[in-house]
Structure 1
Amino acid sequence: MEATFLGFRVEMIISALAFIGAFATVLAMALPFLQRDHRAARLRSISRAREEYSRQQRTEIEQQRRARWRPKKSVSLLQAVVDALKLERLIAPKGIKLKLVQAGYRQPYAPKVYVGLRVLLLIGFLVATFLYVTVVLEDQLIFFQKVLVLAAAPVVGFYLPHLLLVNIIQKRRKEMELVFPDALDLLVISSEAGLSIEAAFQRVTNEIEDVSPVLSEEFGLTTAELAFLGDRRRAYTNFADRTGLPAAKSLTVTLLQAEKYGTSVSQALKVLSQENRAERLSKAERKAAALPAKLTVPMIVFFLPVLMVVILGPAAIRVAELQ
């Protein structure tokens, strides 16, 4: 008689258990490969999304560039002056282009316009001063004074655009310095919330757009560069160069070191934010400590004479009445 167990043949039970064991073994061996394929599919989808986002960013930047960087007739005239006088070597130094970028002039023709404007102002100041000295002040100045004025006029015309450019750069930096600690705090919050550095930069761009359009634009450009530039170091370095802020350079160094050594980006940003806040507080304390010394001269010149008149005025009037 054949052996049975619970009404089933023993050979059938053994065959079923062997089949289940073999199936489980094959499934256990194939499961890592299936998971790896699933991970690869996720990576491919992320890569495609990243490429799509990069393409959208490039399209938006190209549209803004076409709309904003369309040269006018005056710009074309200045470019023609630079090309005619062969002044391209004055555009070559990196310092000129970097200063123009820090002032917000990122157009491709900005260096030529800047150099052409300096040359035209030099010639214009020289011609205008010569006509004014020879026609209006012909008999009022001696020869040496006329030569001195004619020599100073083109120098003033040549360096006037430079002074205006430096003034614009300083104003932009002051505006960005006021908002940068808040932007850094937003960057810390975004990174701690689990956002990537690109998404964190984009979030900061949207949040501070109404408070500081200048700093929002810089963060937006950095977001675009992080999306389509292959070298992240270059994107961070460009951000520090465009702003010219010591805090932005510290942020760049922090992000680069975090990526290089694999440390936590959110923790590094938190430490940097605390240091930035402490530095801002120390600057305010230094300004407050220097305030009494700065108020000494105005008080002596403006307040003390009035105070002396108020105190001694009635006594002087009383003495005059007694006499």
Structure 2
Amino acid sequence: MMIFDLLAQRDFMIAVLAAISMAAVVFTFGSSFIVKSEMKDRIKRVALEREKMRAEEMARLRGNGGAIVEGRGIRRSGETKTYMKSVVERLDLKKAFQDDATLDKLAMAGFRGQGHLTTFLFMRLSTPIAIFLVAAVYLLVLAPAERPLYLNLAYAVGAGLVGSFLPVVMLKNSTDKRQFSIRRAWPDCLDLMLLCVESGMSMEHAFKRVGREIGQQSPELAEELALTTAELAFLEDRGRAYENLGRRTGLDGVKSVMTALIQADRYGTSVGQALRVMAEEGREQRMMDAEKKAAALPPKLTVPLILFFLPVLFIVIISPAMIKVFGPGGVAGG
């Protein structure tokens, strides 16, 4: 009852609303700074990746087989801790957790470089162990209850097994967010690229200009276009740069456009015509997605309507009659 009395006080409700308002203001201003810092980090990673590719190409031209000599001032993105690297190498975690698609999955999530791979492999090992230890301490020391020891250990082991999937789930979540941002901005990117190509720009300048313009809408897509611009400038095979863009994004729409550009570059067909067709298909696909979401809205509203709206409607309709029947002077009250 003391809680309800506290909630009924006017001064307490004013203080709660003021605290919520201040938290919303702080979150609003803080999120803007976080977005700016993330954009700076993405630009920095793109610059580092461009320097890395330039060093690889220069080493290949000198006859070094594409190897990068350490200590030339080229920093690798995604640098990791020394203890993580030593654990991964000593326990040979690459053989245990890495497969052919691991690097592609990390690239689709925006993580490139050996450092991010090492961190991911280390997290695959350390996360279940840490969750097991936390669960064991909680079940055996803090809240043992009356369960037997083996049952508490079984619960802790189960928590550790569930925690082993946590890095994969987090990587999948990052990939989905990145792909959603790229997919949403891709039709506009194709339109801008078509305008640049028809105005007489080369593909390198078109990618560079569109990446600069699309950065406000999708920093992820701007980052990928900047990397593709660097690859087009330093790689001998332009088709390889297009294939890398499709592989890093993992989206069918991007892959189809890159395939069309590869065919246009290989057979000498019109790039503008290919981009025009793909841009029209992208706009149609976006309209179909919007119509699909609109068609799926009524079934999604059925359950909230039944649970929240109809009971309130019945109460509003029936309450006056109930008050007349059971109130003073009514049939039941008299």
Which category describes the TM-score, using the shorter chain as reference length?
A: 0.7 to 0.9
1:163 aligns with 2:169: yes
Instruction: Tell me what 1:71 maps to.
Output: 79
Instruction: Tell me what 1:110 maps to.
Output: 116
Instruction: Tell me what 2:129 maps to.
Output: 123
TM-score normalised by L of structure 2: 0.74
Instruction: Tell me what 1:32 maps to.
Output: none
Q: How far apart are the structure 2 equivalents of 1:115 and 1:221? A: 25
1:1-323 counterparts in 2 under 5 A? 58-59=50-51, 66=74, 69=77, 71=79, 75-90=81-96, 92-143=98-149, 145-321=151-327, 322=330, 323=333
Q: How far apart are the structure 2 equivalents of 1:243 and 1:165? A: 14
Shift, 1:262, TM fit:
2.1
In structure 1, stretches of 5+ residues that fail to align are 1-56
Q: How far apart are the structure 2 equivalents of 1:89 and 1:258? A: 40
Deviations 1:30-85 (A, max 9, x none): xxxxxxxxxxxxxxxxxxxxxxxxxxx9548669x95562635xx22211211221
- Say if 1:59 and 1:300 are closer, same or farther in 2 by CA, change over 3 A: closer
Q: How far apart are the structure 2 equivalents of 1:281 and 1:70? A: 38
Which protein is richer in helix relative to its size? Answer: 1
Shift, 1:157, TM fit:
2.5
Shift, 1:134, TM fit:
2.0
In structure 2, stretches of 5+ residues that fail to align are 1-48, 56-72
Letter in 2 for 1:150: A
Letter in 1 for 2:205: A
Computing the radius of gyration from Cα coordinates, the structure with the larger value is 1
The answer as to whether partners of 1:118 and 1:157 remain within 8 angstroms in 2 is no
The answer as to whether partners of 1:129 and 1:153 remain within 8 angstroms in 2 is yes
Shift, 1:141, TM fit:
1.8
- The secondary structure found in structure 2 opposite 1:225 is helix
TM-score normalised by L of structure 1: 0.76
Q: Alignment RMSD, CA only? A: 2.1
Percent identity of the aligned residues? 40
- Say if 1:276 and 1:143 are closer, same or farther in 2 by CA, change over 3 A: same
Deviations 1:108-127 (A, max 9, x none): 22111111112111222222
Q: How many residues align?
A: 264
